[in-house]
Amino acid sequence: MKIAITSQNKKHITAHAGKCRKFWLFDIVDNELVSKELIELPKEASIRASGQMPDELQGIDKFITSGMGDGMKRRLLSVNIDCEITEMVLVEDWLANHLN
């Protein structure tokens, strides 16, 4: 499963998913972390600015954020990407809570 987490400051799960330009990408297989990568997009490549999912986020299965609008949620669901709005603050806490 490929998971993208919005993290504008590279540490916290952040809101404004459509405007976000920094994402942690995790590849999880059999409940084990296989890879972790930070994606940093230019401003014009954000989902809101470009109107589409950036190439760097193509193929994700799940999108985690602390806030997104209904339009963004509908857009992700329409391309079969599961959405989760979480109250967890730290990316590492979310990951630890969802593995093993």
22-63 pLDDT, tens digit each: 999 999 999 999 999 999 999 998 988 888 889 999 999 999
Expressed as residue numbers, the domain containing 34 is: 2-98
Strand (E) or helix (H) holding 74: helix 70-78
Report the CATH number at residue 37.
3.30.420.130
Average pLDDT over residues 8-30: 95
User: What pLDDT, on the 0 to 100 scale, is given for residue 84?
Assistant: 96
Residue 98 confidence class, pLDDT cut points 50, 70, 90: confident
Contacts of 75 (CB under 8 A, 6+ apart): 47
With H, G, I as helix, E, B as strand and everything else as coil, classify residue 100: coil
Cα–chain center distance at 78? 16
User: What pLDDT, on the 0 to 100 scale, is given for residue 85?
Assistant: 96
Q: What's the total number of domains in the chain?
A: 1
Per-residue pLDDT at 100 exceeds 80: no
Place of tokens 């603050």: 89
Please name which of 54, 66, 63, 80 lies closest in space to residue 26, comparing C-alpha atoms.
63
